[in-house]
Amino acid sequence: MVKILHFLFGRLYFEISGPNVERFLNLCAKNNIVLWDLKPSGKGYRFFIRKKAYKTLENLAEKTHIYIKLSGRYGLPFFLLEHRKRKAFFVSVFMGVLMIFALSQFVWEITVSGSEVYSKSDILKYVTTNYYKPGTYKRNVDCNQLEEHLREDYEEIAWVSCSLQGTRLHIEIKETLDRKTKQNPKKPCDIVANKSGLITGLSVKSGTPLVSVGDKVKKGSTLISGLIYYYSDDFQVTETDKIRADGEITMKTKETYKESIPMEYYEKKLKKKKKRIKSIYAGTYEWKFSEKKKEEHTNIIEKKYSLKIGSSLYLPLGIYVRTYQPYDTVRKTYTEKQAKEKLEKRLKKYLAKKERKGIQVIHHEISYKKKGNSYTASGTILQEEKIGKIRNIKALTKEQEQKITPTTAQQ
C-alpha cells in the first residue's frame, strides 16, 4: 500500500553532503520529514522523500549549509509531466481503461467445479442454453434463481453456489451435505433425502426434524423441515416461522453395481503430439485457421485459452488450441483372468473414490461372469454416507404434523 501511495503522489531521490549532516537529519526528524532508504554515500547520505516535502527540505539545507543534489524523480506526477506532449498516448490509455471497464460489466466466462456425477460440459450446456451465455450483462444474472433451478433439475446435486467473480460466473457443486458445507440459500429451505435407505445418524442444527434414527426413508422425503412451531403452555401452536434447515444426516444405503468390459479390444499406440492454433475468438465471433489434412487415426483434444487480467477478470478474447496425436490401432483379446483382474482394479478404484468422498463401505458382494463377448462384474455395495439435499420449503402433510411435538421442534 505504501509503494502505491509513493507512486501516486511521487517521490524524490536526494544526495546530501556537508559539515552539518547530523544537525540536518535531526532537524528533518523535528519537522516530521520522513526519509526512507537512508544510506551513507561518501561524506553524506542518500535517501527518498515525498514530493510535497521538497520545499521544507530545501529550507533546512540552506539553514544548515548542507549541499543537496536531486538525483531522481519517480512516480506518476513526474511521468505525466515528462510525457505531457504525448496526447495520443494518454488518449489511448484512457480509451483502453474505459474499454476494460465497459467489458467488466458482462459475464465472459462460466466455470464449474465440484461435480462428479454430472460432467462439467453438461452443466455448462444447461446454463448457457437455458439461462446465461457469455456476454450476458452482469446485472441480469440472478445467482439465487440459478441455484434453485440447478437443485431442482439435477437430483444428485445437494448444494450449489453460484457467484460472480469479476467477469466470471462460477458454479460450485456438492453432491452431499455435511457440517462443513456452508449453506448458501438466502431464503428458508428444507433438507430432503436424495437417496433411499435407513437413517443411522441425525444431528439437527436448525429446523424441525421429521425422522429419527432407525427410520427407513424414501428418496425425496423431507428429513429436516424449515418450518418451526411455537407452542403455548397448553401445547397449542401459537405461531409458525420459516428458517433455513441445517443439520447432518447419515444413512445406510444399498447400491447396485455393474461394470462390463469387452473381451476383444483395440489398444492405441500413440505417436508424437502436435499442437496447432485452431481459431481466434472475440466475443461471439470466431476466425478459424485452415487445417492440414489429419491422419486417419488421430486423437484430437481442444482447449480454450482466454485472455484475462488477474484470476477472474476475463476478457472476450482468446484462442482455441487443438492437440493432435496420431496413433496406430492394435487388436487384442483379454483372457478371463485378465478381464477379471481389470474389473477388480476398477472396483477397487471406485471404492477408493467413495472413501475419499467420506462414504464408508460396510460390505460389498460382487460376482464375475463371462457373457458372450464381454466379462461383467455385478453385485451390491452396502455403505453408510452423509445424505441430504436443499429444497424450497413445502407444507407438511397431516402425518408429518402429527409426528411433531413441542420437544422435537427446534430453532
Tens of pLDDT, residues 11-59: 888 888 888 888 888 888 888 888 888 888 777 888 888 888 888 888 8
The helix or strand, by DSSP H or E, that contains position 125, with its residue range, turns out to be: helix 120-130
Residue 330: band (very low, low, confident or very high) from pLDDT cuts 50, 70, 90:
confident
**Could you give the C-alpha distances from 92 to 29, 212, 217, 296, in angstroms and in order?**
43, 68, 66, 49
Mention every residue, 6+ apart, whose C-beta is less than 8 A from residue 52. 9
Tens of pLDDT along 5-14?
A: 777 777 888 8
pTM for this entry? 0.61
Arithmetic mean of pLDDT over the chain: 82
| Banded pLDDT at 380 (limits 50, 70, 90) | very high
What homologous superfamily does CATH list for 2-82? ACT domain (3.30.70.260)
Higher pLDDT, 274 or 136: 136
Instruction: Tell me the per-residue pLDDT of 347-368, one tens digit each, with 9 for 90 and over.
Output: 999 999 888 888 899 999 999 9
Q: How far apart are CA 25 and CA 325, in angstroms?
A: 70
Give φ, ψ of 263 to 5 degrees: -70, -35
Closest CA to 132 of 186, 169, 163: 169
Does the domain at 106-174 match CATH 3.40.1350? Answer given as: no
CA 396 to each of CA 42, 46, 187, 232: distance values in angstroms, whole numbers, following the listed order: 87, 79, 18, 20
Tell me the HSE value of 341 on the side-chain side, using a 13 A CA sphere. 5
pLDDT digits (tens, 9 = 90+) for 199-245: 999 888 888 888 889 889 888 888 888 888 777 776 676 777 888 88
The percent of residues in the chain predicted with pLDDT above 70, rounded, is: 91
The four Cα atoms 87, 92, 94, 97 give a dihedral, to 10 degrees, of: -160
